[in-house]
Amino acid sequence: MQITGTAALVTGGGSGLGAATARELAGRGARVAVLDFDGDKARAVAGDIGGIAVQADVADESAVKSALEEAAAAHGPARIVVNCAGIGSAARIVGREGKLSIDLFDRTIRVNLIGTYTVMSHAAAALQALDPLGEERGVILNTASAAWQDGQLGQAAYAASKGGIVSMCLPAAREFATHGIRVMAIAPGLFHTPMMEGLPAELADKIAANVPFPARLGDPREFALMAAQIVENPYLNGTVIRLDGAVRLPPR
């Protein structure tokens, strides 16, 4: 899929991996819509890259539908869709004094997994109505996590949500194949994101020390580069790429 001149939508585009991806795609000539729960952050990134901002909670289907329609009215239906919106709340399944974390699990699944599914569903429906550009109509890229395979203590909800994203990648790609729509996923490891930046420097350094090579946290631009490479390579479809410097997360 050619990026230059193509309409793109990035969810969670107001910060972190999403913002880096929005900037990378815009730098390659895409017309980018930045979708984020935080409208101010979305507008800030969109203003920097000459894109548009749309505000929505991806866990709210009606809000997603309206946001995608707003983006399409400005740029046309997005042929490049990158789902980065997500939350990383952590809690033990059974915490102190027997406190349960069912509410956190529900919210995490709703935002990370159902939110991704909802955006993908509405985006794919719009793509199916478009004429193909060469072999394909578009590409949908979802964000999983290395925690899908080696989730740490307290990450049961997060790991489950990201594991769901991985599990639906191949069946979604197979379903949309007849329409020329590819579906891929990236499972990032430890990256410089707002979640990591909130940690004490000593703890962040300890976490980074677990990465074999390069022995550092990932740069969001490296995630964005992978996203762009997936968009441009038409034979990448239905699979998940771990982007992690060969790290395997310890139990805690």
Active-site residue list: 158
Closest CA to 164 of 145, 181, 178: 145
Distance CA 71, CA 202 (A): 42
What DSSP assignment string belongs to 171-203?
A: HHHHHHGGGTEEEEEEEE-SB-SHHHHTS-HHH
Determine the longest span between alpha carbons in the chain, in angstroms: 60
Distance CA 248, CA 244 (A): 8
Distance CA 13, CA 224 (A): 11
Extract the tokens encoding 21: 């991806």
Cβ(144)–Cβ(240) under 8 Å? yes
Query: Which residues pair with residue 183 across a beta bridge?
Result: 140
Burial class (CB in 10 A: 0-12, 13-18, 19+), 82: buried
Q: Which residue has the tokens 């909670």?
A: 57
Extract the tokens encoding 4: 């230059």
